[in-house]
Amino acid sequence: MVQGTVNWNIKLDKEWLQEYVDDWVAFYRKATKEGNVASYIPILAKANPNHLGIAIHGKNGLKICSGDIDIPFTIQSISKVISFMVACMKNGVSYVLDRVDVEPTGEAFNSIMHLEMKSLNKPFNPFVNAGALTVTSMLNGATSSDKLAPLFNLLERMIGYRPSVNQEVFKSEDETSARNRAIGYYLLETGFLESDLEVTLETYFKQCSIEITVDDLARIGLILANDGQDPNNEEEIIPRQIARITKALMLTCGMYDASGKFATYVGIPAKSGVSGGIVAVAPPRVRNAPFPFIEGCGIGVYGPALEDRGNSIAGMKLLKHIASQWDLSIF
């Protein structure tokens, strides 16, 4: 395990970086033993808790991948980043933020408590389930496939292929998610749901069941790090204002009630998913210090062993180490 601060000035080439990341993945794989795979969506319990993989895509074209990088997994709550951006692109930011706030809750992602406590019943942010269901209900179209089409279109532009829904995971959640149904009925009763409840739930469960890899997450992260532009040709994929609001929400709400610690100890926008994915965004640093990926990078991590807030425990520790070694923090 590499200790202390490394003089990256002489180690910026791929071979050295690959060796360090391999070493760090091997070290933090041990942390998978401290977590548990999700089981409230029954099929997610079949994941291998010892898996840990990472992909890092730099704006300078450098890519570093290590560990279990070929394991497909479902995007889960990371899909809320995509649906939020699509809703803003289709309806306008103010329309969306009139209906969903931008405040962290400090509670679990599927907590109902704040819905009742807050005077306007308005969901706190688009990344807790109440906010995500509200956003999904805003997506254009009367059917689930109509609503999902723009999400697949955006994903295809960002990752280079059209991903598919893992139907087993969709079915497993659709059959067991009483909590999301309860949240959905509350939103219906308080007037925040803009579509049929069952269509909204079907769309939401399917968006969460979209299957991706860490490489796909790194591509998405790099586009956000590049303020919504394709790093290869600077073509706009996501309007800059929407990309920036999304990163702000990822920093303050993306890791749920671990968001404060993640912002403090890692310092970059990130969004987790309950199947063990994390997408992280390291914007360009203005410092001309000799660190890797100074022009910015996107990072995708997969580690299905979760800590008690629903975030990948080894993934978070690995990102904390990399951020400290490479000075990724935006602060």
Residues 266-295 that bind ligand DON (CB under 6 A): 272-274
Report the nearest approach of ligand DON to the CB of residue 1 (Å).
28
Contact 205, 181 (CB under 8 A): no
Report the nearest approach of ligand DON to the CB of residue 21 (Å).
24
Tokens in use for 119? 């005077």
- Among positions 310, 316, 317, 326, the unique one binding ligand DON when judged by CB under 6 A: 310
Q: Is residue 281 annotated as part of the catalytic site, yes or no? A: no
Map residues 90-109 to x or -, x wherever contact with ligand DON holds by CB under 6 A: -------------------x
Nearer Cβ to ligand DON (76/166)? 76
The reply on whether position 129 binds ligand DON by CB under 6 A is: yes
Q: Is residue 274 annotated as part of the catalytic site, yes or no? A: yes
Of 20, 28, 186, 256, the active-site residue reads: 256
The reply on whether position 180 binds ligand DON by CB under 6 A is: yes
- Among positions 208, 220, 282, 314, the unique one binding ligand DON when judged by CB under 6 A: 208
Of 20, 28, 186, 204, the active-site residue reads: 204
Q: Tell me how long the chain is.
A: 331
Q: HEC string of the chain?
A: CCCCCCCHHHCCCHHHHHHHHHHHHHHHHHHHHHCECCCCCHHHHHCCCCCCEEEEEECCCCEEEEECCCCCEECHHHHHHHHHHHHHHHHCHHHHHHHCCCCCCCCCCCCCHHHHHCCCCCCCCCCCHHHHHHHHHHCCCCCHHHHHHHHHHHHHHHHCCCCCECHHHHHHHHCCCHHHHHHHHHHHHCCCCCCCHHHHHHHHHHHHCEEECHHHHHHHHHHHHCCCECCCCCCECCCHHHHHHHHHHHHHHCCHHHHHHHHHHCCCCEEECCCCEEEEEECCCCCCCCCCCCCCEEEEEECCCECCCCCEHHHHHHHHHHHHHHCCCCC
Nearer Cβ to ligand DON (273/300)? 273
The reply on whether position 217 binds ligand DON by CB under 6 A is: no
Nearer Cβ to ligand DON (236/308)? 308
Of 81, 128, 274, 301, the active-site residue reads: 274
Residues 55-84 that bind ligand DON (CB under 6 A): 76-77
> Residue with CB nearest ligand DON?
77
The reply on whether position 312 binds ligand DON by CB under 6 A is: no
Nearer Cβ to ligand DON (88/208)? 208
Tally of CA atoms within 13 A in the half-sphere of 97 that contains its CB: 12
Q: Is residue 80 annotated as part of the catalytic site, yes or no? A: yes
Nearer Cβ to ligand DON (100/294)? 100
Of 25, 28, 77, 281, the active-site residue reads: 77
Binding site for ligand DON (CB under 6 A): 76-77, 109-110, 129, 173, 180, 208, 272-274, 310-311
